[in-house]
Amino acid sequence: MKIAILSRNPRLYSTRRLVEAGQQRGHEILVIDTLRAYMNIASHKPQIHYRGQALEGFDAVIPRIGASVTFYGCAVLRQFEMMGVFPLNESVAISRSRDKLRSLQLLSRKGLGLPVTGFAHSPDDIPDLIQMVGGAPLVIKVLEGTQGIGVVLAETHKAAESVIEAFMGLKQDIMVQEYIREAGGADIRCFVVGDKVIAAMKRQAKPGEFRSNLHRGGSASLVKITPQERSTAIRAAKVMGLSVAGVDILRSQRGPLVMEVNSSPGLEGIETTTGKDVAGLIIEHLEKHAGPGLTRTRGKG
């Protein structure tokens, strides 16, 4: 197969591993800088150009679209879909999962366990919003943040009010979530490919920190997940419409709670921790499912 990888940086671990895995299995791989791809939109024949050349003959595309370029990246991916190229994750599913609020609303509608979450616009509603999620301590999240940036733990009611007021004053959209104390600063990253959890790791925040992101100094270890956690992760990916996803789950007294569904999960932490060839399993998934015109949405929506 001829496979395109949409990635801003070919030297990133995840991109490198996908290139290696694809080439080892005999495929032709081209890494395309997402922001350097450009398109003729109103053409009767959809095309993408890259560095002065028209891109043609691709069987599949693997989007590794960073959060900061979601809008443009999804437009490029949609153009690939209109050309009949099979996407590992579809543009509609990626933009759905990147909208933190919308994704939680969709997961909630399907009955998946979630931390109690509040969302408001007016500073007048802050006291009731805090009560709605069970009071302090609580977690305040900027809707646009990634890798733990823009996530604050407010220990007291007064601190929560001050932080929420500050974010609202800066015109930042935020959501407020209950703090799951029993999780102990740890979460479970389940790596879903197709309809299976192919690998899982426990991420533990460093002492004095509550965010377990590896970018924030968290540590990762092997973990055995329960059947309920497994089915929660698979269902969450399915609700988002993602073939490949990193589903972050908190262990709570009322069962697994979905914190986030990531459409471009990093491979380094999960491969290093579990010793599994995750990149190879992703390419294998493409081999089984990719084909001309098999995009479900064909660039719609």
CB atoms within 10 A of CB 258: 23
The residue with tokens 């991916």 is 77
- pLDDT of 8 > 60? The answer is yes
Residue 262 marked as a ligand binder? yes
Task: Tell me the C-alpha distance between 54 and 38, whole Å.
Answer: 10
108 is in an annotated binding site: no
Residue 40 labeled ligand binder:
no
In whole angstroms, how large is the CA radius of gyration of the chain?
Answer: 20
Q: Which two tokens stand for residue 64?
A: 């590794």
Residue 2 annotated as lining a ligand binding site: no
| 297/254 Cα distance (integer angstroms) | 36
213: which residues sit within 8 A by CB, 6+ positions away? 147, 148, 203
C-alpha span between 257 and 18 (Å, rounded): 30
Phi, psi angle pair for 100, to nearest 5°: -55, -40
The pLDDT > 90 percentage for the chain reads 70
pLDDT by residue (tens digit) across 236-279? Answer: 999 999 999 999 999 999 999 999 999 999 999 999 999 999 99
Give residue 249's identity as a one-letter amino acid code: I
- Lowest-confidence region among 115-124, 138-147, 164-173, 239-248: 138-147
Task: Quote the tokens at residue 124.
Answer: 């007048």
Lowest average pLDDT, out of 24-28, 171-175, 189-193, 204-208, goes to: 204-208
Q: State residue 168's pLDDT score.
A: 87
Over the stretch 277-292, which tens digit does the pLDDT of each residue have? 999 999 999 999 987 6
Statement: residue 64 has pLDDT above 80:
yes
What residue spans in the chain does CATH classification 3.30.1490.20 cover?
117-179
In the chain, which residues fall in CATH 3.30.470.20?
182-263
The mean per-residue pLDDT over the stretch 50-57 comes to 93
CATH match of 2-89 with 3.40.50.20:
yes
Calculate the alpha carbon distances from 73 to 6, 13, 209, 276 in Å: 8, 20, 32, 28
The annotation status of 187 as a binding-site residue, yes or no, is yes
Q: Is position 212 annotated in a ligand binding site?
A: yes
The domain covering 117-179 belongs, at the CATH homologous superfamily level, to: ATP-grasp fold, A domain (3.30.1490.20)
Q: What is the CATH number of domain 182-263?
A: 3.30.470.20
Q: pTM, whole model, 2 decimals?
A: 0.89
Chain region(s) in the chain for CATH 3.40.50.20:
2-89
Residue 267 DSSP one-character state? S
Please give the mean pLDDT across all residues of the chain.
Answer: 90
The Cα 223–Cα 186 span in angstroms is: 11
CA-closest candidate to residue 254, choices 189, 181, 200, 199: 181
- For the chain, how many residues are written? 301
Torsion of CA 163, 99, 227, 266, to 10 degrees: -90
Structure tokens at 128: 């009731």
Measured between alpha carbons, how far is 245 from 256 in angstroms, rounded to an integer?
Answer: 17
Above 60 in pLDDT, residue 301?
Answer: no
